[in-house]
Amino acid sequence: MLSLASKMGKRIHLDHASARPVDPRVVAFAQPYLGENIGNPSSLHSVGLKARRALEEAREEVAKLINAEEPESIIFTSGATEANNLAIRGTALRNAQKGKKVVASAIEHISVLNPMKELQKGGFEFHLAPVNSTGTVDLGRLREIITEDTILTSIIMANNEIGTIEPIKEIAEVVHQKGLYLHVDATAAAGCIPIDVQADGVDLLTLSSNNFYGPQGAGALYIRPKVKVQPILPGGGQERGLRSGTENIFAIVGMGEAARIAQAEMGEEARRLKEMRDKLIEEILKIEEAYLTGHPTQRLPHHASFRFSRIEGESILLNMDMRHNIQVATGSACSSKTLEPSHVLLAIGLKHEEAHGSMVLTLGRGNRPEEIPKISEAVKETVERLRRVSAL
């Protein structure tokens, strides 16, 4: 029996912030490492050495994507969550003799906030830096919060819920004037906007393979040379002793190829998606009591986020999916298991009832301009229908 969605024709995926399809070119490139090239990079025979070469070539491509000083500054992990934990817990614990204060912006991903809360339980002092109504970090308040005891400050490069891009270079100057290290979670930004860790003064930076069309199950942490980090997963000493465990060669090789493709195509793709994004924003803001969230211009090129009065985000998501076969998001996929409103939307000053009515559209390589009328009409129909039946 056909589902309602399948009867409605082609699916339109607008939730690339939570999952991107693996680029077919990446699959073809990495496929041999699921079969014939099965070597362990730690093995010294020819098959193992071939795997080691592939691993190091992937490291070089990821390093190029962010203009790292050297490939060795890239440590592969299982994903962004592990990379964030290694950056935050590993840096704080390794350098605790220099200070026991950590700082994060109020709109960080939960995989940044929770490790800092764990450090707080162990005796560290944890402070949140506020943002303004567009989600941009308040540099003045950041200067007040950071002291010489601040061992680590973590600021997201671009927020996955509201799309706002932070002024990382200016933030790095504030951090280094008063504190020690700056960690940047670039999960949502990598492959979408240029990243230059050297020019921006970044000490540690988190990446996720799938966020630039690589396989899931791989991520990376950039560690600036001479920054000391303590391993949080002791074992056999892989990845310079900082991340033990046999490397996921298929996912890592795929991540390297995805990084190469992203670097080559990012500029043109960003321009294409920005045109579509701006048209969607223009059309959706014609709906009564529809509001854009995040910065109006300093935002990711593929990202459009809104709030609607008098309806719930979960209802929007389900209606768009089941009635129109269009997948959207409401808040972050990693924090959607709670009925509480998004901490990001509360941090930018929205009331609880306002934060509940959010919708996030994130475009990708598979989306086309001709989809915009259908998307706009589906959002309009959804909002009007839900308002008619809403108890709010």
Query: Measured in whole angstroms, how far is the alpha carbon of residue 14 from the centre of its chain?
Result: 15
Structure tokens, 308: 């609607």
In what side-by-side order are the strands of the sheet with 303-308?
290-292, 303-308, 358-362
**Residue 125: strand, helix, or coil:** strand
Contact between residue 147 and residue 178 where contact means Cβ atoms under 8 Å apart? yes
d(CA 387, CA 352): 18
295 within 8 A of 155, measured Cβ to Cβ: no
Give the SS3 label for residue 154.
strand
Number of Cβ within 10 Å of residue 118's Cβ equals: 15
334 is catalytic: yes
Of the residues 334, 366, 377, 384, which is catalytic? 334
- How many whole angstroms separate alpha carbon 355 and alpha carbon 330? 10
Q: What is the DSSP letter of 227?
A: -
CA distance 49 to 203: 31
d(CA 14, CA 283): 16
Largest CA distance in the chain: 68
389 burial (CB, 10 Å; 0-12 / 13-18 / 19+) is exposed
Token pair belonging to 201: 């003064």
Residue 246 falls in which region: left (phi positive, over 0), alpha (psi -120 to 50) or beta: beta
The catalytic residues are 334
